[in-house]
């Protein structure tokens, strides 16, 4: 299999160095154009994300081209340390690596969904640029198919492994349809924004934001098409919210049991869900004792995350079995392709001989009508195809044997014309007659 990958990822390369080699789509196109002029690469796809920069390529001499590509990139970025931190993978291991990346089994957050979309976008981009050929048209769609199987046949992506996402998953246990709930965000920091982003992804549209610094609340609300509530109105407006997420830097409780008890009386049995992701805590723990109030703090969320991480690891073991099944299919396809040059040469040899003999014969049968000439032509072509049919199937089967290269080369030698055998038998016969007729 003449495919390889050269790359750098979060596993060995620091975020500072990854930032330096990250490539925009414009930079990728420019770099691909330079590579086309500099290195004999047949196919190329570049994947550049915050956690990895990878070059997938196919070429005739994969190992030497991989080394040449590494040297080219080290010089381009002028970063000698990339030599020691690069991974170079060839052959079937390239497929295994790609399948793991697509299925998010190689991600920093196991099971995260973004990488598959990023990989699909990269593949389509390089297809549009004319870099995709026969090998990648098999390899990448197979990776996408494998990733889909992993997501549908395992639960690897069903378990939240971030605090903000775990908060949303807990909210879904209380409210079946989050899109119908009103959310109140207390605080405007990174954790609050991440939680709000995840809620938006689940269809939440009605959002209120409050913060001690009004402009910060305003900026966050504007980003997510929400409404701003002055912090002074928090207790009055609290009753309007179904889901409350708090993440402030306050040194005392922002929400107390007495405040929530009043709200619940006015809500006529409608539940309230509180998520406290602040340290120290913003929400008084005793709120959880109130009927209709569900309160989780960061320790609860971390316990959920820990259990989910362990479950994702178990699901990854099942995903590995799916990967190996799909890799076996790709291996067979690539091995079969290894016989194509031999099959093509032998078929061309037979067809060339058949066509030459057909032309000679038709010259002698000039009395035939056009219809009869077409029949003779069709007959020769059908005979040639039938003669070649079983050998072609057998050569494809041979491509999966351990000594396939030797066996295919023997077949090629048998059917190919050897150098020095260009003279026909007719050219040799006169010499034989001379010897036979000589007098001693």
Q: Which residues are identified as catalytic?
A: 50
Contacts of 431 (CB under 8 A, 6+ apart): none
Per DSSP (E only), the strands in 291-355 are: 293-297
The 8-class DSSP code of residue 255 comes to B
CB 90 within 8 A of CB 63: yes
Closest alpha carbon to 80 in 17, 11, 6: 17
What is the C-alpha to C-alpha distance for residues 69 and 114, in angstroms, rounded to an integer?
A: 27
- Among 270, 401, 271, 276, which Cα is nearest to 338's? 401
Query: Is the Cβ–Cβ distance between 48 and 101 less than 8 Å?
Result: no
- State which H helix or E strand residue 89 sits in: strand 87-90
**Helix orientation angle between 298-338 and 134-153, rounded to the nearest 10 degrees:** 140
Bond prior to 280 in cis (omega within 30° of 0): yes
**What are the distances in angstroms from CA 113 to CA 53, 102, 157, 193?**
18, 9, 7, 19
Question: Rg for the chain (alpha carbons), in Å?
Answer: 34
Cα-based distances in Å from 340 to 141, 203, 346, 360, 421? 21, 51, 10, 30, 26
Place of tokens 């939680």: 195
- Residue 90 to residues 6, 65, 145: CA-CA distances in angstroms? 9, 11, 21
């Amino acid at each position: 299999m003449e495919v390889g990958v050269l790359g750098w990822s979060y596993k060995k390369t620091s975020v500072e160095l990854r930032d330096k080699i990250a490539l925009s789509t414009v930079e990728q196109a420019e770099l691909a154009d330079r590579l086309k002029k500099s290195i004999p690469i047949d196919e190329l796809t570049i994947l550049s994300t915050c956690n990895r920069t990878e070059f997938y390529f196919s070429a005739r001499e994969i190992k030497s081209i991989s080394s040449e590509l590494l040297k080219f990139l080290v010089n381009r970025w002028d970063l000698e340390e990339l030599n020691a931190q690069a991974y170079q993978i060839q052959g079937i291991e390239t497929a295994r690596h790609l399948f793991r990346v697509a299925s998010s089994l190689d991600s920093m957050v196991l099971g995260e969904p973004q990488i598959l979309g990023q990989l699909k976008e990269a593949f389509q981009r390089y297809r549009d640029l004319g870099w995709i050929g026969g090998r990648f048209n098999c390899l990448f769609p197979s990776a996408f198919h494998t990733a889909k199987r992993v997501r549908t046949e395992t639960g690897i992506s069903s378990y939240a492994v971030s605090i903000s996402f775990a908060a949303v998953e807990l909210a879904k246990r209380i409210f079946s349809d989050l899109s119908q709930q009103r959310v109140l965000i207390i605080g405007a920091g990174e954790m609050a924004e991440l939680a709000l982003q995840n809620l938006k992804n689940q269809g939440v549209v009605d959002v209120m934001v409050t913060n001690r610094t009004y402009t910060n609340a305003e900026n966050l609300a504007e980003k997510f098409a929400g409404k701003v509530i002055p912090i002074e109105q928090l207790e009055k407006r609290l009753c309007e919210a179904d889901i409350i997420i708090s993440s402030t830097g306050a040194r005392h409780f922002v929400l107390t049991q007495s405040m929530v008890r009043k709200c619940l009386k006015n809500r006529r049995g409608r539940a309230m869900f509180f998520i406290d992701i602040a340290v120290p805590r913003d929400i008084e723990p005793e709120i959880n004792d109130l009927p209709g109030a569900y309160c989780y703090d960061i320790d609860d969320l971390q316990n959920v995350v820990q259990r989910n991480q362990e479950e994702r690891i178990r699901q990854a073991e099942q995903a590995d079995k799916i990967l190996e099944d799909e890799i076996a299919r790709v291996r067979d396809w690539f091995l079969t392709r290894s016989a194509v040059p031999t099959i093509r040469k032998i078929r061309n040899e037979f067809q060339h001989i058949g066509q030459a003999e057909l032309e000679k014969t038709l010259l002698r049968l000039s009395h035939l009508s056009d219809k009869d000439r077409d029949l003779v032509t069709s007959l020769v072509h059908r005979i040639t195809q039938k003669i070649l049919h079983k050998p072609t199937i057998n050569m494809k089967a041979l491509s999966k044997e351990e000594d396939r290269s030797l066996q295919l080369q023997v077949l090629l030698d048998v059917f190919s014309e050897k150098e020095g055998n260009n003279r026909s038998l007719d050219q040799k016969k006169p010499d034989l007659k001379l010897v036979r007729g000589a007098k001693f």
